[in-house]
Copies of this chain bind each other. A is one copy, B any other.
Amino acid sequence: MSVNVAVVGATGAVGEEFLRVLAERDFPIRNLKLLASARSAGKTVTFKGQTYTIEELTKDSFEDIQIALFSAGGSISREFAPAAVKSGAVVVDNSSAFRMKDGVPLVVPEVNPEQIHKHNGLIANPNCSTIIMNVPIWPLHRANKIKRLVVSTYQAVSGAGAWGLYELEKQQKDFAAGNQITSEKFPHQIFNNLFSHNTTIGDDGYNEEETKMVKETRKIFADPKFMLTATCIRVPIPRAHCESINIEFTQPITPDEVRAILSKSPGVKIVDDPQSNTFPMPLAASGQDLVLVGRIRQDISRDDGRGIELFVSGDQIRKGAATNAVQIAEKLV
C-alpha cells in the first residue's frame, strides 16, 4: 500500500530532513506534495532523482493527501493542520501546537506506539530533547520504576532552526576573518559561548524547553506524576543534542543491569568505552537515528544503590524530529 504524502515546511531544516528520511527508509509514497510559504513556492527540490516544485501552502492543499508531515512552526500548524484533517489526511505535527492537547497522541514509537491508532486525525511529534531522553529511559523505567530524574542538556544550534546553524557559522567565519561578531537572532553570542535555552521563562523559573521535557514525558509515559527536573542549555555545536541524566530508581540497580537492558532496547546504541575515552558525542550522533548512551555508572552520591548516571547524544533533527515523525507515519500505513 502506498499513500499520498504532503510535507509542510519542506524548505526548513526539519522539512529537508523529512525528505532525506522518507527516501532512505523507502517510505511507500504514491504522490508527494511539497508545501511551504509563498516565499518558497516555485523553488525546486530533488527527491529520489525526481524534481519537485514547492507549492504554496493553502487550506486547499490537502485534497487526496493521506499523510501530512508538518514542520513549519506552531502557528502554521494551528492554521493549516485542521484543514488537512478535514480533507481526510492524518497529520503528524512536529510543532508544539497540539502536543499537550487531550485526544492528540504524543508518540515516541519506541515508547508508546499503541497511541498512534487512537488519533482523531492529528498525532503530535514530541520535542527533540524529550524524544532523545525518552528512548533510553523508557526501557529502564519499565524494568525498575524511575522515582526521580535530573537532566541537564547541551543543545545544538540547529535545534532553533536552520537560522541557528547559519548564525553560528557566520560568527565562526567572522572570528576567523577578524571581523566583529554580531548576534542577529539568538539573544546572545553563541560562538565561543553558551547560554540558557532562549525560550520564555515561566513563573516557576523553568524555560519552555525545560517545561516541555517535563510535561511531554509525563504524557508519553502516561504517568502524570513522573518526577523530573531539567536545565536546558544551548551550546556552540551545529547538530545533535547531548543530555547528562541522573536517575533515581525505586529498586537498587547496577550499571551492568542498565547495560543489559539498553543493549536490547530499540533505538539505543551503547557507546561506553573508558579505555579510549569514547562516549556519546554530537559528531558521532549526527546524521544517524540512534540515541547513543554512555558514561553508564553507579551514582556515588547515593548509598542505596538506586542511582545511575548516563550521558546521551542524539541527532535532534533526525530522531528528535524527522525520523520520529516518519516512524509514526510508517505505523499508520
Contacts and interface: CB of A to CB of B under 8 A. Distances in A.
A201 B274 contact: yes
Given A198-B277, A281-B188, A300 B237 contact: no
Nearest to A175: B172
A233 interface: yes
Q: How many copies of this kind of chain does the complex include? A: 2
B277 A205 contact: no
Nearest to A281: B195
A110 interface: no
A325 to B, nearest CB: 26
B194 A237 contact: yes
A143 interface: no
Contacts of A279: 195-196
Size class of the A contact interface (CB-based, 8 Å): 35 or more
A192 interface: yes
Contact of A150 (B150, B236, B295): B150
Nearest to A189: B283
A20 B45 CA distance: 57
A238 B204 CA distance: 32
A246 interface: yes
Interface of A: 148-150, 152, 154, 172-173, 175-177, 187-189, 192-196, 198, 201, 204-206, 214, 227-229, 231, 233, 235-238, 242, 244, 246, 255, 274, 276-279, 281-283, 294-303, 307, 309, 311
